[in-house]
C-alpha cells in the first residue's frame, strides 16, 4: 500500500510539473490585478491561448466566467480564480460510464500517429487492467514497422500479458482476426489492439478500421469495441488537428493524452474535450509502466490554475492523495 501511494504521488508530481508553465503565467496574472476588468479578461484570454487551450475554447470559457462573475457578484480576482477552476473541472468531468471496458468484455483499438506513445500506452493500459484482475491480451496489428511489433512484445512481457502478432507487413485485419479467435478461446476480458499508426489518408484509414470492425462484429459480437486515440500532449495544437482528422475517419470513444510531463502545457486537454466532445480518459506522464492513469479533472484544473499547489504539495489533488501522504508521513 505504501509503495502504491508513493507511486501515485510521483505521478501527480510529474503531472503538476508538466502543467507548471501555464500555472505560473496564471499565477502572475492573478497577483498583478486587484480588480476584474476588461484588461484582466484580455490578459487571461491571452494566457489561456498561450497555454494551448485553443481560441474557441478560451473564448467560450471566458464568456461563461464573465457571466458567473456577474451572477455571483464577485469582485476579487482570487474568487474569480476559484470559479475558473470549478468551471474547467466541470467541463472536463469524466464519469464511470466512460470506462465501460472495466466492466464489460471489450476489444480496445488504439489508433494514433507513430511516435505519439501508442505502443507504450497499450502496455501501460494492459498493466492497469491486469491489475484490476482482468484477463488481458494484446495484439500487434500495427504491422507496418517491425520495430513496433518488437516493442509491443517487450511491453507485453513487462505487463505480463500474452501477445498475438503477425509477420511484418501482414494485413492488420488478419492479425485482429487471429487475436479475436484467441480472445474467445481463452476467455479474455479485454483485448488491446495496437492498430493504425499512420494517418496516411482518410480513406485508407477508414477502410482499414472498417475491415477490423467488421471482423470483430462477425467473430466476437458479444464484445464491445472501443476506439481510443493516442495523442502527444507536447505537440499542442497539432494534437488537436490530429484529433479532428482521426475523428473524421473513425468514431473515437476516448483520448489517451501522453507526455504531459516535461514540456507539455496541458491546456490542449481542454481544447480537445471541448472541441470534439470526446473525453480524455487517460493521461501519460512518463515512460514507466505505471505512468498512465485515468484522467482526473479536479487534479487537472488545480494543476493548471490553482496557485495553492505552490504552498501545499500534499493537498493539490484528490483528498485520498493527501490522505495517503499524511499516512506516509505518520509512519
CB within 8 Å of 56: residues ≥ 6 apart? 271, 274, 275
Q: Which stretch binds ligand GDP (CB under 6 A): 2-10, 40-48, 115-123, 211-219?
A: 115-123
**Do residues 222 and 184 make contact, with C-beta atoms less than 8 angstroms apart?**
no
Distance, CA of 122 to CA of 128 (rounded, Å): 10
The residue from 5, 114, 181, 315 that contacts ligand GDP (CB under 6 A) is: 114
Distance, CA of 272 to CA of 100 (rounded, Å): 21
The residue from 51, 54, 117, 166 that contacts ligand GDP (CB under 6 A) is: 117
Distance, CA of 276 to CA of 282 (rounded, Å): 16
Alpha carbon separation from 175 to 141, 213, 235, 243, 326 (Å, rounded): 6, 13, 31, 25, 48
User: Cell for 45?
Assistant: 484570454
**Do residues 199 and 245 make contact, with C-beta atoms less than 8 angstroms apart?**
yes
Using CB under 6 A as the binding criterion, the count of chain residues that bind ligand GDP stands at 19
User: Rounded to the nearest whole angstrom, what is the least distance from the CB of residue 87 to ligand GDP in the complex?
Assistant: 27
Please tell me the number of Cα atoms within 13 Å of 96 on its side-chain side.
Answer: 2
Which is nearer to ligand GDP, 119 or 274 (by Cβ)?
A: 119
Site string for ligand GDP, 49-78 (x = CB under 6 A): ------------------------------
Which is nearer to ligand GDP, 17 or 318 (by Cβ)?
A: 17
Q: Which stretch binds ligand GDP (CB under 6 A): 42-50, 68-76, 280-288, 320-328?
A: 280-288
Q: Does position 110 bind ligand GDP by CB under 6 A? A: no
The residue from 25, 119, 235, 242 that contacts ligand GDP (CB under 6 A) is: 119
CB within 8 Å of 192: residues ≥ 6 apart? 108, 110, 122, 125, 126, 129, 136, 137, 138, 139
Q: Does position 115 bind ligand GDP by CB under 6 A? A: yes
**Do residues 140 and 152 make contact, with C-beta atoms less than 8 angstroms apart?**
yes
Q: Does position 172 bind ligand GDP by CB under 6 A? A: no
Which is nearer to ligand GDP, 287 or 312 (by Cβ)?
A: 287
Site string for ligand GDP, 142-161 (x = CB under 6 A): ------x--x----------
**Do residues 175 and 166 make contact, with C-beta atoms less than 8 angstroms apart?**
yes
Tell me which residues in 215-274 interact with ligand GDP (CB under 6 A).
258-259, 261-262
Site string for ligand GDP, 286-305 (x = CB under 6 A): xx---x--------------
The residue from 284, 295, 296, 321 that contacts ligand GDP (CB under 6 A) is: 284
User: Rounded to the nearest whole angstrom, what is the least distance from the CB of residue 97 to ligand GDP in the complex?
Assistant: 25
CB within 8 Å of 126: residues ≥ 6 apart? 136, 138, 155, 156, 159, 161, 192
Which is nearer to ligand GDP, 44 or 260 (by Cβ)?
A: 260
Contacting positions for ligand GDP (CB under 6 A): 112, 114-120, 148, 151, 258-259, 261-262, 284-287, 291
Amino acid at each position: 500500500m505504501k509503495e502504491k501511494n508513493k507511486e501515485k504521488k510521483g505521478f501527480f508530481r510529474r503531472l503538476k510539473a508538466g502543467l507548471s508553465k501555464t500555472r505560473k503565467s496564471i499565477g502572475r496574472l492573478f497577483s498583478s490585478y486587484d480588480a476584474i476588468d476588461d484588461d484582466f479578461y484580455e490578459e487571461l484570454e491571452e494566457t489561456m491561448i498561450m497555454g494551448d487551450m485553443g481560441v474557441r475554447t478560451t473564448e467560450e470559457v471566458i464568456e461563461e466566467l464573465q457571466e458567473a462573475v456577474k451572477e455571483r457578484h464577485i469582485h476579487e480576482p482570487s474568487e474569480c480564480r476559484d470559479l475558473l477552476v470549478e468551471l474547467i473541472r466541470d467541463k472536463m468531468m469524466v464519469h464511470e460510464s466512460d470506462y465501460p471496458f472495466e466492466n464489460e468484455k471489450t476489444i480496445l483499438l488504439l489508433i494514433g500517429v507513430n511516435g505519439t506513445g501508442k505502443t507504450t500506452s497499450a502496455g501501460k493500459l494492459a498493466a492497469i487492467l491486469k491489475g484490476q484482475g482482468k484477463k488481458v491480451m494484446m495484439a500487434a496489428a500495427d504491422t507496418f514497422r517491425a520495430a513496433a511489433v518488437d516493442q509491443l512484445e517487450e511491453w507485453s512481457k513487462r505487463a505480463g500479458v500474452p501477445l498475438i502478432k503477425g509477420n511484418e507487413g501482414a494485413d492488420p485485419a488478419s492479425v485482429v482476426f487471429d487475436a479475436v479467435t484467441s480472445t474467445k478461446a481463452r476467455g479474455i476480458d479485454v483485448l488491446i489492439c495496437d492498430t493504425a499508426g499512420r494517418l496516411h489518408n482518410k480513406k485508407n484509414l477508414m477502410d482499414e478500421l472498417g475491415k477490423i470492425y467488421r471482423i470483430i462484429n462477425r467473430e466476437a459480437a458479444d464484445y464491445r469495441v472501443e476506439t481510443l486515440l493516442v495523442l502527444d500532449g507536447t505537440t499542442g495544437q497539432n494534437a488537436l488537428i490530429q484529433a479532428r482528422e482521426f475523428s473524421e475517419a473513425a468514431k473515437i470513444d476516448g483520448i489517451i493524452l501522453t507526455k504531459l510531463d516535461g514540456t507539455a502545457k496541458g491546456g490542449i486537454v481542454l481544447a480537445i474535450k471541448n472541441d470534439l466532445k470526446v473525453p480524455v480518459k487517460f493521461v501519460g506522464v512518463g515512460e514507466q509502466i505505471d505512468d498512465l492513469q485515468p484522467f482526473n479533472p479536479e487534479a487537472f484544473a488545480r494543476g493548471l490554475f490553482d496557485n495553492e499547489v505552490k504552498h501545499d504539495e500534499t493537498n493539490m489533488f484528490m483528498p485520498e492523495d493527501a490522505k495517503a501522504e499524511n499516512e506516509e508521513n505518520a509512519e
